[in-house]
């Protein structure tokens, strides 16, 4: 036990505490903050940051899936539809990174540009979710079931590419897409289904990055040591915080991070 504690890096543990606490409070922000934090603050190679964060996300979201599964707030039909699109997309994206050489300048540039785009989409979904939902409900409304099936699979495909390249998008972007496609589904069931789908998506993408050699298990262990307790604690106290204020603050931070990736 003592040797395990001595092997942990305090700065990575603290980062895990901060990001884990935010995830526990809002349900989003894991990949969209953890990956930029590793790249910008700790100067971790983008591919290693993404790969490490993917395994980190699969572990942390497994706990959330177990809770939602116990409470029966997962629609496994929706999870299956998303996975039909996301898992093949993940495999194809890993193959693309393999042929680009994950350590090359081309792969690094691709990852950072996609990361900036995914962070921007996440920020916009946090800021304008309610307005977007109202517009969609007024202009489009409920879609026919066959089209919903195809769009759910397509959503999974897009998430598979985004998450494999950036580790960002499975949370906020996935929830917004599901709200649009399944407007009559209860919010808790949408969130539960999105989290359940994120587990195999991030695990398969993370294993792909492991095959490419882009995971730092020392960093991963330290992040989990901080984030898991923080997620548990902040999930318990989340009802006392202003969800709107936290989401707006998070969105502003994400926009700043996005600008940093694109222009500096």
Q: How confident is the model at residue 243 (pLDDT cuts 50, 70, 90)?
A: low
Structure tokens at 227: 């984030």
In a domain, 140, yes or no: yes
pLDDT per residue as tens digits for the range 143-155: 888 999 999 999 9
The total number of structural domains in the chain stands at: 1
| Structural tokens at position 190 | 């949408």
Tokens of 262: 């694109």
Say what the pLDDT of residue 201 is: 94
Residue 106 CB burial class (10 angstroms; 0-12, 13-18, ≥19)? exposed
Question: Do residues 54 and 205 touch, judged by C-beta distance below 8 A?
Answer: yes
Report if residue 214 sits inside a domain. yes
Residue 49's SS3 state is helix
CA distance 59 to 61: 6
Provide, rounded to the nearest whole percent, the portion of the chain with pLDDT above 70.
87
Q: Categorize the per-residue pLDDT at 5 as very low, low, confident or very high, splitting at 50, 70 and 90.
A: low
Residue 9 included in any domain: no
Give the pLDDT confidence score for residue 3 in this predicted structure.
65
For residues 39-57, average pLDDT: 90
Q: Does residue 3 lie in a domain region?
A: no
179 found inside a domain: yes
pLDDT tier at 35, thresholds 50, 70, 90: confident
The boundaries of the domain holding residue 63 are: 31-263
Residues 104 and 230: their CA atoms lie apart, in Å, by 35
Instruction: Please compute the mean of the pLDDT values over residues 49-69 and round it to a whole number.
Output: 85
| 6 assigned to some structural domain | no
Query: Under a CB-based contact definition with an 8 Å cutoff, are residues 52 and 260 in contact?
Result: no
Q: Does some domain include residue 21?
A: no
pLDDT classification of 235: cutoffs 50, 70, 90: low
pLDDT reported for residue 152: 97
* Crossing angle of the two packed helices 46-70 and 105-127, in degrees rounded to 10: 40
Residue 16 lies in a domain: no
- Distance between CA atoms of residues 79 and 201, nearest Å: 10
pLDDT at 25: 65
Q: Are 190 and 182 in contact (CB under 8 A)?
A: yes
């Amino acid at each position: 036990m003592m040797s395990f504690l001595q092997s942990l890096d305090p700065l990575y543990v603290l980062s895990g505490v901060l990001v884990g606490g935010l995830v526990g409070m809002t349900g989003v922000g894991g990949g969209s903050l953890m990956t930029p934090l590793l790249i910008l603050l700790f100067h971790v190679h983008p591919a290693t940051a993404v790969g490490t964060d993917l395994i980190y996300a699969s572990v942390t979201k497994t706990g959330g899936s177990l809770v939602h599964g116990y409470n029966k707030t997962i629609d496994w039909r929706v999870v299956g539809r998303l996975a039909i699109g996301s898992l093949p997309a993940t495999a194809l994206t890993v193959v693309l990174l393999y042929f680009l050489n994950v350590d090359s300048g081309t792969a690094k540039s691709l990852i950072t540009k996609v990361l900036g785009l995914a962070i921007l989409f996440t920020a916009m979904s946090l800021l304008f979710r309610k307005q977007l939902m109202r517009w969609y409900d007024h202009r489009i409304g409920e879609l026919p079931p066959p089209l919903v099936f195809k769009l759910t699979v397509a959503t999974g495909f897009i998430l598979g590419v985004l998450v494999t390249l950036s580790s960002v998008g499975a949370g906020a972007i996935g929830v917004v897409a599901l709200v649009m496609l399944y407007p009559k589904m209860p919010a808790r069931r949408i969130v539960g289904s999105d989290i359940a789908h994120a587990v195999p998506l991030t695990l398969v993408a993370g294993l792909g990055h492991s095959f490419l050699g882009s995971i730092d298990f020392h960093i991963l262990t330290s992040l989990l040591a901080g984030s898991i307790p923080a997620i548990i604690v902040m999930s318990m106290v989340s009802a006392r915080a202003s969800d709107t204020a936290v989401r707006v603050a998070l969105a502003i931070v994400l926009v700043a991070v996005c600008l940093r990736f694109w222009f500096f």
